[in-house]
Amino acid sequence: MLEKAKAEWFSNIRADLLAGTVVALALIPEAIAFSIIAGVDPKVGLYASFCIAVIIAVVGGRPGMISAATGAMALLMVTLVKEHGLQYLLAATLLTGVFQILAGYLKLGSLMRFVSRSVVTGFVNALAILILMAQLPELTNVTWHVYAMTATGLGIIYLFPYLPVIGKTVPSPLVCIVLMTIVAMVMGLDIRTVGDMGELPDTLPIFLWPDVPLNLETLQIILPYSIGLAVVGLLESMMTATIVDDLTDTKSDRNRECKGQGIANIGSGLLGGMAGCAMIGQSIINVKSGGRGRLSTFTAGLLLIIMVVFLDEWISQIPMAALVAVMIMVSIGTFSWASVRDLRKNPLSSNIVMIATVAVVVATHNLALGVLVGVLLATLFFANKIGRFMVVKTEGDDAHRHYRVVGQVFFASSEQFIESFDFKEAVETVCIDLSQAHFWDITAVGALDKVVIKFRREGAKVDIVGMNAATETVVDKFGVHNDPKEVEKLMGGH
């Protein structure tokens, strides 16, 4: 246990510290922007980002992943803040954390195994597009200086790593931010800076219990928002963990991450912050800057609060163009270009799932809705594919007929199962062999009942053989072909 903790915290110290610094600088304008979206003071988002990042670094299940205030969560808070105010948002944040901790203990993080690769790819591509779209306001109706700064920043980000020695030791996004800030200050350029995004807090966060009545009415107000925040937060965090797993070739503990997100949100709510979750963009910045361990996430949160409270005069001078360059790099690096190249090679169903996920996320800006649509489509395609693999083979003579069922019988293949039998054939006995079949649900059992009863109606004696234990259990529980009263109802009294 001690060795594992040491490896997660101190096996990559220099790179984690530098990566955490880059992430902290990039977090500031985003936290302010998300606060504005939610309709709260910028310090609410900044305090949340500090608190969530520091706590999740300790209790989270995915080292190197960045969690903070996010746009997906902020969008869900707008109505609550507008109608009831900040204090109810803080209360909803606490309840969100409770739900997420419960999800961790219920092992709901394991449900990620039902999310197909096509959905993950669509999610990643949609996020890359949204990140790029979010930079457009900073590049619209501006002077040529902004374009020049952004282009120079991108040049630094992509070319600096090719420099001998130093190019591999210092993250190029950090170099971009520092150099562009110096240039803007020395030349006195009149361009938008971090300080123009909103006022930075001048004090550290303090313990703050939400000032709301502790009664059923309060619960009724915050419950719907808390459920939505918990679901979206966990979904985005689990998706981000999957992506970081792939980037680092390591495995995360998703159920621990669920609990960690809950603890972090409770801490955020008690320190005057809004609910948050994992951030794919910032996590990719961290990984691409060399961050791998918990120290990088902890450093990002700690430096964030130090910068905005004690170094606000300097931080407010960072040109937004430099941060736009960093986020464009994230967008380009996040997008799965292979998914476009492999469109012709991949199955049509996989392409439809991926494109549908992208379309819904980009159209609604709702990551959870996009993933839900993708998962549903993937499920339908899978059920249709598996359903087609079921066949019924037949053999016998004029008096006896033997049907051998091969494959999976469930709601998608039950109709095909029924149509595979010839009920008008005049035979004395029918044997239905299920030794190579599996019945999954009540729809399949209902189909078996219908087949047996139809044959009996035609005067044939029906034997069912070869059922495996699982099939026998579900047939015994839900089947009615051996119940005289139910059979009489189904046969219409004949």
Q: List pLDDT tens digits, range 280-316.
A: 888 988 998 899 999 999 999 999 999 888 888 888 8
| Predicted local distance difference test score (pLDDT) of residue 494 | 47
In angstroms, the CA 349 to CA 163 distance is 44
Find out whether 117 and 285 touch, Cβ atoms under 8 Å.
no
pTM for this prediction? 0.74
In angstroms, the CA 118 to CA 196 distance is 40
| Residue 151: how many other CB atoms lie within 10 Å | 12
CATH top-level class of 391-490: alpha beta
Q: Where are the domains of the chain?
A: 2-357, 391-490
Closest by CA position to 370, among listed 354, 381, 348: 354
In angstroms, the CA 395 to CA 397 distance is 7
CA dist 286 → 264, 279, 363 (Å): 19, 10, 28
Which H or E run contains 290?
A: none
**HSE-up of residue 230 (Cα within 13 Å, Cβ side):** 27
| Predicted local distance difference test score (pLDDT) of residue 124 | 81
Find out whether 399 and 427 touch, Cβ atoms under 8 Å.
yes
| Predicted local distance difference test score (pLDDT) of residue 264 | 96
Tell me which residues of the chain have a pLDDT lower than 50.
493-494
Q: What contacts 81, CB < 8 A, 6 or more positions away?
A: 38, 39, 40, 88, 89
> What is the radius of gyration, based on Cα positions, of the chain?
29
CA dist 11 → 63, 170, 286, 421 (Å): 12, 17, 16, 65
| Predicted local distance difference test score (pLDDT) of residue 481 | 67
Describe the chain by its helix, strand, coil percentages, rounded to 5: 70, 10, 25
